[in-house]
Amino acid sequence: MSHRLADYDYDLPEELIAAYPAERRDGSRLLVLDRGTGGIEHRRFADFPRLLRAGDLLVLNDTRVVPARLEGRRPGGGRIELLLLRPQPDGAWCCLTNPSRRLRTGLEIELPGKWRASYLGRGGEEGEHLFRLDGAGELRALLESHGHVPLPPYILRRRGRGDEPIDRERYQTVYAREDGAVAAPTAGLHFTDEVLRRIEAAGVEIQRITLSVGPGTFLPVRVEDIREHRMQAEEYEIAEAAAAALNRASAEGRRVVAVGTTVVRALESAWAEGRVVAGAGRTELFLYPGCELHLVGALLTNFHLPRSTLLMLVAALAGRERVLAAYDEAVRAGYRFYSYGDATFIA
């Protein structure tokens, strides 16, 4: 197995990066990869319920994307954007800014709805800044009325568009309920209520956990030996009932099917002494080939960026060579890539 960053690269034509979602959630294409043999099938996502087995345990991430991008103005009129990441115990907020230059302590930024943000200095993870937000009413109401959907950088920049009304609905799973994410768990974007009903009718158990997806999911790996990369922490929570169901499935030898890499990271982070431990936690788990997965037996996920930690996680489950061969096949077949793109099922 390889731990060289360059060995997780592949060529992707720009036109295959999906700028918008498919017309129907379940209308996406689905590449099925047999991780045992490397065999590939081409299906539609509407076929997904038929690929599951009675007794499988399907695990969803019910985190909800918050419209946490706020456009503000500096005192001189210059534009600045704040992406609110997480509150601090003292009431301040960790944020990303664009642009991030010329920030000085005490800088007052004018926000919509007669709110303002005061710059306190650097804080949190690398590249993050601390602001204190003040205004009338609830911050949640400000975000819902004036916030923008935090679409991934490769849509906002490389595809040259801002967020649009369609993103309020489609950059969100139909089962989202727990506020906190600044990026969608994109494997779940393909599900409809009808698909979920068909899955349950086939004898598949469904459980929900929460991992609040942070901006670190888009950070590039900058070290040549991937084992030296450090993940930014993300918060997760697994309820007692979900943990009990997962532990029963494990004890009974039933397959655990993760919907998305975020579910894999949460479940494997909560695994201790042969069982899933319920409760809240923070994970910096980085999975790559050579790392052992204790619980997850199959994975539904989207196609991921070259040299990304998400691609390396998929390779930890199915092997680097087989994953890259499947990606090459997907490029040849014209699949749509990344957050609004098509899906893969690795079983």
Domain ranges of the chain: 5-65+167-346, 69-147
Tokens for 221, please give them: 């790996």
Between CA 333 and CA 117 the distance in angstroms is 48
Tokens for 256, please give them: 């655990």
Q: Strand pairing of 343-346 and 298-302?
A: antiparallel
As its CATH architecture, domain 69-147 has Beta Barrel (2.40)
Domains 5-65+167-346 and 69-147 share a fold: no
Exposure b/e, 192-211, CB count within 10 A at least 16 = b: eeebbebbeeeebbbbbbbb
Q: Measuring CA to CA, how many Å separate 169 from each of 35, 66, 71, 182? A: 33, 12, 21, 15
Instruction: Return the SS3 of 256.
Output: strand
- The CATH class of 5-65+167-346 is alpha beta
- To the question of pTM greater than 0.85 for the whole model, the response is yes
**Residue 337 bridge partners (DSSP):** 17
Instruction: Return the SS3 of 130.
Output: strand
Amino acid, single-letter form, for residue 69: R
State whether the Cα torsion 157-162-168-170 is positive or negative.
negative
Q: How many CA atoms lie within 13 A of 151 on its CB side?
A: 25
pLDDT in 10s for each residue of the chain, 347 residues: 899 999 999 999 999 999 999 999 999 999 999 999 999 999 999 999 999 999 999 999 999 999 999 999 999 889 999 999 999 999 999 999 999 888 999 999 999 999 999 999 998 787 899 999 999 889 999 999 999 999 998 888 766 788 999 999 999 999 999 999 999 999 999 999 999 999 999 999 999 999 999 988 778 899 999 999 999 999 999 999 999 999 999 999 999 999 999 999 999 999 999 999 999 999 999 999 999 999 999 999 999 999 999 999 999 999 999 999 999 999 999 999 999 999 999 99
Q: Which of left, alpha, beta for 22 (phi over 0: left; psi -120 to 50: alpha)?
A: beta
